[in-house]
Chain A
Amino acid sequence: AQTVTQSQPEMSVQEAETVTLSCTYDTSESDYYLFWYKQPPSRQMILVIRQEAYKQQNATENRFSVNFQKAAKSFSLKISDSQLGDAAMYFCAYRSAIGTASKLTFGTGTRLQVTL
């Protein structure tokens, strides 16, 4: 079974600064997808960024980028130029690429605070 670990229950960053959220995972599969989801107080889960394991290039989406280290099974999220609206819970998630649409396995989340 796959597991996802987020070792930082809470993080804080000043507005306009950069913060990195950590995620490690364990799997015996070679092909999979990794995701970062954001959950604001509204409870709505929002996809932030997605990485295909077969791609060596790190995914980027505007101010959000990842550092994907497949051998180390590490998948960190970097948020640049942090904004007040970035404050939320962030979840790292794993999804197998085997077969058709499979479930997401989530970490326990990191609560990000953004201060002025």
Chain B
Amino acid sequence: GAGVSQSPSNKVTEKGKDVELRCDPISGHTALYWYRQSLGQGLEFLIYFQGNSAPDKSGLPSDRFSAERTGGSVSTLTIQRTQQEDSAVYLCASSLQTAYNEQFFGPGTRLTVL
């Protein structure tokens, strides 16, 4: 596709359930990022992939959060046993390898935990 896509666009879940959020990066982009944007806040880094490996997981807030990337393309962010404080917009971005390159963002997934 032309840009980064994310699914679902919106997700409502009950506290304690597991959720999976998907990111499909721009073809050829080796770097992939997940960020979280809580209401009225800036973006908070979660995890970075280079190819299928994750050299920086420092932003994952707890062990309930995990992510994987397969085939150097699609990535899935999984949140287990969701809590109300997990409610946020989860944004994915991709870029070419170097730090100079622009990160292109997807439209995000709005997660609401009831």
Contact = CB atoms under 8 A, between A and B. Distances in A.
Interface of A: 4, 6, 33, 37, 42-47, 50, 52, 91, 93, 95-109
Contact of B100 (A42, A52, A105): A52
B107 A108 contact: no
Interface in B3-51: 30-31, 33, 35, 41-45, 48, 50
Interface residues of B, number: 30
Contacts, number: 72
A49 to B, nearest CB: 11
B43 A104 contact: yes
A104 B97 CA distance: 14
Given A43-B89, A50-B102, A97-B99, A105 B41 contact: no
Contact of A100 (B43, B50, B91): B50
**Secondary structure of the A contact surface, majority rule:** loop
B107 A44 contact: yes
A101 B105 contact: no
6 contacts: A37-B105, A45-B105, A100-B97, A101-B101, A103-B59, A106-B44
Most buried by B among A37, A43, A93, A105: A43
Nearest to A100: B97
B104 to A, nearest CB: 8
Contacts of B105: 37, 44-46
A43 B102 contact: no
A32 to B, nearest CB: 8
